[in-house]
Amino acid sequence: MKRPRQGLDLQVDRTLALPVYQQICRRFKTAIEQRHLHSNDRVPSIRALAAELKVSCGTVDLAYRILIDEGYLLSRGAAGTVVSPALPPAPDVAPRRANNGAIHAASVDYEGRERKPLLMGLPALDAFPRKTWNRLVGHRLRTSEPARLGFPDPTGDERLREKIAAYLGISRGVSCLPEQVFVTSGLRNSLELILSSLARPGDEFWLENPGYILARLFLQNTGLKLVPVPVDEQGMVVERGLTAAPSARFAMVTPAHQSPLGVTLSLERRMALLDWAGKMGSWVIEDDYDSEFRYQGRPLPALKSLDRNDRVIYSGTFSKSMFPGLRLAYVVAPLSIAAAFRASAYSINAGCPYLYQAAVADFIAGGHFSRHLKKMRLLYAERRMLTERIFSAMLGDRVRIELQPGGLHMLLQLARHEDDVMLAERAHAAGLALHPLSRWYMRGKPRKGFLLGFANVVTEKDAMELATRLRQALGG
Amino acid sequence: MKRPRQGLDLQVDRTLALPVYQQICRRFKTAIEQRHLHSNDRVPSIRALAAELKVSCGTVDLAYRILIDEGYLLSRGAAGTVVSPALPPAPDVAPRRANNGAIHAASVDYEGRERKPLLMGLPALDAFPRKTWNRLVGHRLRTSEPARLGFPDPTGDERLREKIAAYLGISRGVSCLPEQVFVTSGLRNSLELILSSLARPGDEFWLENPGYILARLFLQNTGLKLVPVPVDEQGMVVERGLTAAPSARFAMVTPAHQSPLGVTLSLERRMALLDWAGKMGSWVIEDDYDSEFRYQGRPLPALKSLDRNDRVIYSGTFSKSMFPGLRLAYVVAPLSIAAAFRASAYSINAGCPYLYQAAVADFIAGGHFSRHLKKMRLLYAERRMLTERIFSAMLGDRVRIELQPGGLHMLLQLARHEDDVMLAERAHAAGLALHPLSRWYMRGKPRKGFLLGFANVVTEKDAMELATRLRQALGG
């Protein structure tokens, strides 16, 4: 316990405007950044430090939680708390980036939100046609009536709903009326709308295992009974759902590219799922989050296009096809429940800002959307191959890359029996937004690996730099 | 049943692209608009019409539900369904406005969202400095880095949080750090953040009776035990809360201008509330939704400014101080729970679009925000007096106007014993967004009256036209 205290001036000053817990945080950060404290150094216990500083245990606890959250400290449970073994390589390597994020949150969070390279689900921000977009937004900004500053339509802007319906008909084989389309601020908001329209407490809900982690975190707090259904090379194993919970009220699937394994739901499974839903009067939620991007074979029509009995609720997003900062997504409800969705939208939603909705409608109407998607398919195909080539060459002994036929990420399987969560945290600390595959499993023995977003890997130099950083982070 | 069918060609055409239920809707709308069907005419029962058209009962039911929702038909329960007794006066008086809204939804919905005059809570859209605003948004649009197209910070843009903290310190006596400020998309999102950070199922929750209707609708679905606490001329009657549920975990209040009665929470009650919260370790949620506008006496500091024990969670919004289409609000969490809020924000929120957040920060930093509020205080004082004068003169025999010391709405008490819900629906049908006071009561004998937003009543001519319309809608 001697060495850590060197250079760590832990006096608190109650006359400062800065609260005591923040003073503690600052002192630790400074000491760690200036290397007065080193990786794996144990820090004092909460009780000991509180007594020494004459502050409450709660104050020290809060400071430690923040430091852990930001990646400076690591809790080893009963073994105490230590300085993080995975500190950023040096204070001058983008310390802000490495430090301002919630590593814990990011590690369970697909969207990550850190502005770190290799974040899965993030489209190529450098390739978005910003000039065109800015022109369209600027035009709406100048020409919209003052009434548009008022409350937005909670079901979505009418013109945008028309454009979405037209796009889905042409591109995804989904035929629907604008009245069936509901604009939301993202998948979680879409799920909220669906569940508030249809769900009853205790309803059984099939979800893919592994499956989209943020959806699961959201669903876990809804009072539904979640039924994990395994995924094989043909997608969700529908028969396993039938055995486990034949009268489930909902099933949520990612038929185009299973999230995260990337497989496609086979035609046989699609028919089995629709058949079950028709017989049981259950609802299938199709999360078609990134079907726009496919590099092998032809894009598959949506599951919804096979839906003769109107049991499929379709969910799409502009986060991948445009950019996530838009916060715009949508749900298509079967006609029989469109009125219920409308009532729910009025009672749970306050609507999304008009400006972006209007500009997206213009972007689609002007043909920019389909042009952009076409360009991105080619660009992503290139970046995917580039990333695969460089990472295979430089990390081939540590990971095996599984290319998926579509989407914006690839799967890196670990060659050794290693803990992907621990390794991903190390990669995070080194400034890489890799996601550990095992966290996407709700139950059972998880596969281990990394989920790596390739859409923003622009040059060979980028790829080599990133692969080098990952190699270093993985260590021995 | 004869007359209604005249001019109502109810054949359906299965070869049309338009779904059958929509065909039924269209026929009814045309027949009603062309006066082939008249107010109070009974329409066929669902079963009879379904049999006649050889369609399913579900199809007719859907069509009727839409027609009821849009105000064409009115369900009288066992007495059958009739053509609405409160049809718009004539097809050429803005039929789109009168028809495109969900009257039912609007009638339970404070925010209304219809673009009808007299909507409460809507600030003066004509007086918002759009040029300045457009310049700021345009600037951010052109100069933001591409990375800003990515996922926004789920806790809110850092600079905006700083500006909010500074504003609250100066204007509301609320001293807080940017780390305590969380940006949300509106009050419901704020409540979601608060509850997901702190609430446990079954927690007791005091709320004002009458109180903000949308908050109640949201809270009713959260598994909390709602405890309505009456409001008198000093605001929430705290002693009644103490009797009904002394160990409640939450109390939500609108201390500046009680929503909807407009009274101010007295100092004695403020102290009693804080005292209770401190002793019980409960949380007080201060909804400070429109305190910026006060016309008599000096603006009161926030309840939060008296909060020595850190039990008050402060909630504010830009919907009234700027405009509701922004969809930006905020919560200030006490330091002791800021870390929990942060974790919640990462798990439930996907963040708000960066562009508007950055522009609001610029709007505050450039001094435009405080200038705008100053101007609006004078303007609203004028519009408030104008509205009061004209409506008193023209409707003095039917309503008694209660002016409130602040806020954007006034209370119209009914002079006779009449049903405010029914009268408000008539006013809605005549294109006025009045809200019935009795709907804001959760329990007990409600006061009856209308809540009327005056912020967009610009000229004397406007006021007279609106008062005339209301007079006509009220009838006899």
Tell me which of B97, B99, B347 to substitute to probe the interface with A (most A C-beta atoms closer than 10 Å). Answer: B347
C-alpha span between A327 and A318 (Å, rounded): 8
- Nearest C-alpha of chain B: how many angstroms from A153? 7
- For residues A53 and A158, membership in a common domain is answered with no
At which of A315, A344, A369 does a domain end? A369
> Does some domain include residue A53?
yes
Residues of B with Cβ-Cβ distance to A112 under 8 angstroms: 151
Residues of B with Cβ-Cβ distance to A165 under 8 angstroms: none
The reply to whether residue B115 touches residue A147, judged by beta carbons under 8 angstroms, is yes
ipTM of the assembly? Answer: 0.78
- What DSSP character marks residue A440? G
pLDDT for position A390: 97
The reply to whether residue B128 touches residue A146, judged by beta carbons under 8 angstroms, is yes
Distance, C-alpha B272 to centroid of its chain:
29
pLDDT for position A90: 34
Identify which of A104, A134, A325 has the shortest CB distance to residue B142. Answer: A134
Q: Write the CATH number for A409.
A: 3.90.1150.10
Q: Is the peptide bond before B129 cis (omega within 30 degrees of 0)?
A: no
Identify which of A152, A189, A217 has the shortest CB distance to residue B325. Answer: A152
Q: Is the peptide bond before B436 cis (omega within 30 degrees of 0)?
A: no
- End-to-end CA gap in chain B: 29
Identify which of A102, A111, A221 has the shortest CB distance to residue B350. Answer: A111
The reply to whether residue A327 touches residue B347, judged by beta carbons under 8 angstroms, is no
The reply to whether residue B22 touches residue A325, judged by beta carbons under 8 angstroms, is no
Decide if A436 contacts A390 (C-beta within 8 A). Answer: no
Residue A55 banded pLDDT, cuts 50, 70, 90: confident
C-alpha span between A103 and A97 (Å, rounded): 11
pLDDT for position B469: 95
Backbone angles phi, psi at B285, to 5 degrees: -100, 115
Identity at B426, one-letter amino acid code = R
The reply to whether residue B348 touches residue A218, judged by beta carbons under 8 angstroms, is yes
Q: How many CB atoms lie within 10 A of CB B422?
A: 12
Q: Where are the alpha helices (DSSP H) in A396-459?
A: 420-429
- For residues B116 and B142, membership in a common domain is answered with no
Structural tokens at position A252: 């949520």
Residues of A with Cβ-Cβ distance to B119 under 8 angstroms: 150
Lowest mean per-residue pLDDT among A297-301, A370-374, B375-379, B447-451:
A297-301
* Residue listed under structure tokens 């809060």: A62
Closest to A326 in 3D by CA, of A336, A337, A317, A335: A317
> Does some domain include residue B235?
yes
The reply to whether residue B69 touches residue A217, judged by beta carbons under 8 angstroms, is no
User: Taking residues A411-417, what's their average pLDDT?
Assistant: 92
- Nearest C-alpha of chain A: how many angstroms from B433? 13
Structural tokens at position A14: 């109650």
> Judging by DSSP bridges, how do beta strands A204-209 and A250-253 pair with one another?
parallel
Q: Rounded to the nearest 10 degrees, what angle do helices B368-395 and B158-172 cross at?
A: 60
- CA-CA-CA-CA torsion sign (B23, B26, B30, B32): positive
Model pLDDT for residues A239-248, shown as the tens digit of each residue: 999 999 999 9
> Does some domain include residue A199?
yes
- For residues B197 and B337, membership in a common domain is answered with yes
pLDDT for position B293: 92
> Does some domain include residue B4?
no
- For residues A195 and A307, membership in a common domain is answered with yes
Q: Burial level of A194, CB count in 10 A (0-12/13-18/19+)?
A: buried
Tell me which of B22, B65, B310, B346 to substitute to probe the interface with A (most A C-beta atoms closer than 10 Å). Answer: B346
pLDDT for position B70: 67
Structural tokens at position A437: 């595959």
Decide if A318 contacts A329 (C-beta within 8 A). Answer: yes
C-alpha span between B249 and B197 (Å, rounded): 13
Q: Write the CATH number for B42.
A: 1.10.10.10
Closest to B252 in 3D by CA, of B292, B311, B308: B311
Residues of B with Cβ-Cβ distance to A336 under 8 angstroms: 58, 62
pLDDT for position A111: 35
For chain A, the residue count is 476
Decide if A467 contacts A394 (C-beta within 8 A). Answer: yes
pLDDT for position B453: 96
pTM of the model: 0.79
- For residues A112 and A137, membership in a common domain is answered with no
Decide if B185 contacts B329 (C-beta within 8 A). Answer: yes
- For residues A110 and A146, membership in a common domain is answered with no
Query: DSSP string covering B35-103, please?
Result: TSS-TTPBPPPHHHHHHHHT--HHHHHHHHHHHHHTTSEEE-GGG-EEE-TT--S-TTS-HHHHHSS-H
Decide if B470 contacts B86 (C-beta within 8 A). Answer: no
Structural tokens at position A130: 């910003």
C-alpha span between A337 and A180 (Å, rounded): 9
CA distances from B307 to B175, B266, B273, B278, B310 (A): 10, 15, 10, 9, 6
> Does some domain include residue B403?
yes
- Nearest C-alpha of chain A: how many angstroms from B410? 19
The reply to whether residue A353 touches residue B356, judged by beta carbons under 8 angstroms, is yes
Model pLDDT for residues A445-467, shown as the tens digit of each residue: 999 999 999 999 999 999 999 99
Identify which of A65, A102, A148 has the shortest CB distance to residue B346. Answer: A102
Torsion of Cα atoms, A57 then A61 then A62 then A63, to 10°: 110
Please name the residue of chain B whose CA is at the shortest distance from the CA of residue A117: B147
The reply to whether residue A350 touches residue B327, judged by beta carbons under 8 angstroms, is yes
Decide if A434 contacts A426 (C-beta within 8 A). Answer: no
Residues of A with Cβ-Cβ distance to B138 under 8 angstroms: 138, 141
Q: Where are the alpha helices (DSSP H) in A39-186?
A: 46-53, 57-69, 95-99, 103-107, 130-143, 158-172
pLDDT for position A223: 84
- What DSSP character marks residue B423? H
Backbone angles phi, psi at B33, to 5 degrees: -65, -30
Q: How many CB pairs under 8 A join A and B?
A: 172
The reply to whether residue A115 touches residue B58, judged by beta carbons under 8 angstroms, is no
pLDDT for position A217: 84
User: From the CA atom positions of chain A, what is the Rg in Å?
Assistant: 24
The reply to whether residue B325 touches residue A21, judged by beta carbons under 8 angstroms, is no
Q: Rounded to the nearest 10 degrees, what angle do helices B187-198 and B335-348 cross at?
A: 110
Domain count, chain B: 3
- For residues B78 and B37, membership in a common domain is answered with yes
- For residues B46 and B112, membership in a common domain is answered with no
At which of A338, A369, A400 does a domain end? A369
Decide if B228 contacts B443 (C-beta within 8 A). Answer: yes
Closest to B84 in 3D by CA, of B68, B63, B60: B68
Please name the residue of chain B whose CA is at the shortest distance from the CA of residue A111: B151
Q: Write the CATH number for A136.
A: 3.40.640.10
Closest to A74 in 3D by CA, of A35, A105, A42: A42
Model pLDDT for residues A130-150, shown as the tens digit of each residue: 999 999 999 999 999 999 999
Identify which of A122, A142, A352 has the shortest CB distance to residue B327. Answer: A352
The reply to whether residue B62 touches residue A141, judged by beta carbons under 8 angstroms, is no
Identify which of B66, B150, B336 has the shortest CB distance to residue A115. Answer: B150
Full pLDDT tens readout for chain B, 476 residues:
333 444 455 666 565 545 677 778 777 876 776 667 778 888 888 888 888 888 878 778 878 877 876 678 888 877 788 888 776 443 322 222 223 223 233 334 433 445 789 999 999 999 999 999 999 999 999 999 999 999 999 999 999 999 999 999 999 999 999 999 999 999 999 999 999 999 998 999 999 999 998 899 889 878 899 999 999 999 999 999 999 999 999 999 999 999 999 999 999 999 999 999 999 999 999 999 989 899 987 778 999 999 999 999 999 999 999 999 999 999 999 999 999 999 889 877 779 999 999 999 999 999 999 999 999 999 999 999 999 999 999 999 999 998 888 999 999 999 888 999 999 989 988 889 999 999 999 999 999 999 999 999 999 999 999 999 999 999 87
Identify which of A177, A223, A353 has the shortest CB distance to residue B327. Answer: A353
> Does some domain include residue A319?
yes
Residues of B with Cβ-Cβ distance to A105 under 8 angstroms: 343, 346-347
* Residue listed under structure tokens 């799922």: A273
Identity at B135, one-letter amino acid code = R
> Does some domain include residue B256?
yes
- For residues B159 and B262, membership in a common domain is answered with yes
Tell me which of A24, A109, A151 to substitute to probe the interface with B (most B C-beta atoms closer than 10 Å). Answer: A151
- Nearest C-alpha of chain A: how many angstroms from B223? 10
Decide if B55 contacts B396 (C-beta within 8 A). Answer: no
Q: What 3-state DSSP class applies to A154?
A: coil
- Nearest C-alpha of chain B: how many angstroms from A102? 8
Structural tokens at position A71: 């990646």
Residues of B with Cβ-Cβ distance to A25 under 8 angstroms: none
At which of A325, A347, A369 does a domain end? A369
Structural tokens at position B22: 């929509």
- End-to-end CA gap in chain A: 28
Model pLDDT for residues A91-129, shown as the tens digit of each residue: 322 222 223 223 233 334 433 445 789 999 999 999 999
- For residues A153 and A111, membership in a common domain is answered with no
- For residues B357 and B245, membership in a common domain is answered with yes
Distance, C-alpha B353 to centroid of its chain:
22
- For residues B221 and B318, membership in a common domain is answered with yes
Residues of A with Cβ-Cβ distance to B161 under 8 angstroms: none
pLDDT for position A27: 77
Identify which of B21, B196, B352 has the shortest CB distance to residue A327. Answer: B352
The boundaries of the domain holding residue B39 are: 20-83
Decide if B410 contacts B402 (C-beta within 8 A). Answer: yes
The reply to whether residue A125 touches residue B147, judged by beta carbons under 8 angstroms, is yes
Identify which of A125, A343, A348 has the shortest CB distance to residue B146. Answer: A125
Decide if B254 contacts B302 (C-beta within 8 A). Answer: no
> Does some domain include residue B90?
no
Identify which of A142, A146, A325 has the shortest CB distance to residue B148. Answer: A325
User: Taking residues A392-418, what's their average pLDDT?
Assistant: 93
- What DSSP character marks residue A299? P
Q: How many CB atoms lie within 10 A of CB B90?
A: 10
- Nearest C-alpha of chain B: how many angstroms from A149? 5
Adjacent-strand bridge partners of B82? B42, B74
The reply to whether residue B111 touches residue A325, judged by beta carbons under 8 angstroms, is no
The reply to whether residue A149 touches residue B22, judged by beta carbons under 8 angstroms, is no
Q: What 3-state DSSP class applies to A321?
A: coil
